[in-house]
Amino acid sequence: MTRFLIASPNSGAGKTIITLAIMRIFKRTGLKYQPAKSGPDYIDPKFHEMASGEPSVNLDAWAMQKPEIKDVAGDGNLIVEGAMGLFDGAGISGLGSSANLANILSLPIVLVVDSGKMAHSIAAIVQGFKNFDPSINLAGVVLNRVASDRHLNLLTTALSKINIPILGVLFRSKEFELSERHLGLVQASENTNLETWINAVADALTPSLDLEILSKLGSKVQAKKHVNPSPLGQRIAVARDIAFEFSYPHHLKAWRMAGASISFFSPLSDETVPDDADFIFLPGGYPELHAGQIASAKTFKSSIRAHAERQTPIYGECGGYMVLGDTMIDESGDSHKMLGLLRLETSFADRKLHLGYRQLSSLGPHFKGPLRGHEFHYARTLSANGFPLFSAKDADDKKLPDMGLCSGQTFGSFAHIISGI
């Protein structure tokens, strides 16, 4: 059985680069496994899918209950990429960290360390992470951004004193860095050279990677069967293209397993919303980068407005929520007319970061039971008039302003729901 979690002491250490290389290397061996990402993330899982050949899932130790985590993770081979630093979680408590997830799933941890600006000090850092929480199993380290053979010798000598195995080494190269934008990495679907890049990093890591140890990490587990809420419709239409890519695979899978059919349409290609849809979902993504194209998508706009007139439920999250509004101002200050189904005006001309987990309760009939989600965007709300969709609290139970808007059967907010739908 091969089951482990790849973590690091901090963000920016190269977790994603090492994860993609390891996933590709295991794919080359023929191993079938479930790729996964700890926490709320839409972008990294798409890279996982490219590297592994399998759809990646999100496992969130703050937002999901343990049975749901175990159900989504499954009982087979599993390679999980952590988020931020190993012990970084939500709010003051730190709940929901990669370490929490590793404990829930009994996963050994492979620690990726950015070694570029240290030598002997690496032993103190790794020893500290090993001993900080006795409940975790730190199986070994992968050294990233190693400068030279001499540098590697210094690092190896230091780690030998604390009996931590080195499971892999990636030497420093500008060729191995990935392009980023305001919400994280540039999306996998926009990176035309990604396949070549993944192979190059995998080739560089292969000679040092200890596959024998990695392939034996973890043990067989019994997956839990989680009962999901009923789907929001039986014929669900989901917007999907490079402007609307942020939908969680575990939601789509749960809806299908509950008997719903799911179809996709592209607003950027000016495709019509399927006429027989009984629920429409506009997920988040990067509509602000394509606002002009969305504004001119007459077929898409007329078909979704026709659905609104006959009271088909239409739900938008984050970017999808903004598209449901009246206008969106892009980063250049140009205003673009959106669907006009909610009295909402948003702007990217003067960015403001909104970030954090959200505990949500529906203020109307649109959702049942408590919901957990997250918010991550840079939009400013210039005006929002109407009945709010959610009451909200943060991860520390602090009351937040109500979120979102609803008008009849059209509703949305900046929150991405992780669990509860």
Amino acid at 251: H
Amino acid at 59: L
Q: Which residue numbers are catalytic?
A: 318
Q: Is 294 helix (H, G, I), strand (E, B) or coil?
A: helix
% pLDDT > 90, the chain: 90
Express each pLDDT in 9-58 by its tens digit.
Answer: 999 999 999 999 999 999 999 999 999 999 999 889 999 999 999 999 99
Provide the pLDDT for residue 178: 73
| Separation CA 334–CA 326 (nearest Å) | 14
Express each pLDDT in 117-176 by its tens digit.
Answer: 999 999 999 999 999 999 999 999 999 999 999 999 999 999 999 999 999 999 999 888
Express each pLDDT in 159-178 by its tens digit.
Answer: 999 999 999 999 999 888 77
Express each pLDDT in 230-259 by its tens digit.
Answer: 889 999 999 999 999 999 999 999 999 999
- Say if CB 86 and CB 111 are below 8 A apart: yes
Q: DSSP secondary-structure letter at 187?
A: P
Length of the chain (residues): 421
Express each pLDDT in 334-385 by its tens digit.
Answer: 999 999 999 999 999 989 999 999 999 999 999 988 999 999 999 999 999 9
| Separation CA 47–CA 52 (nearest Å) | 9
| Separation CA 68–CA 413 (nearest Å) | 24
Residue ranges of domains in the chain, CATH in brackets: 3-214 (3.40.50.300), 235-419 (3.40.50.880)
224 pLDDT more than 80: no
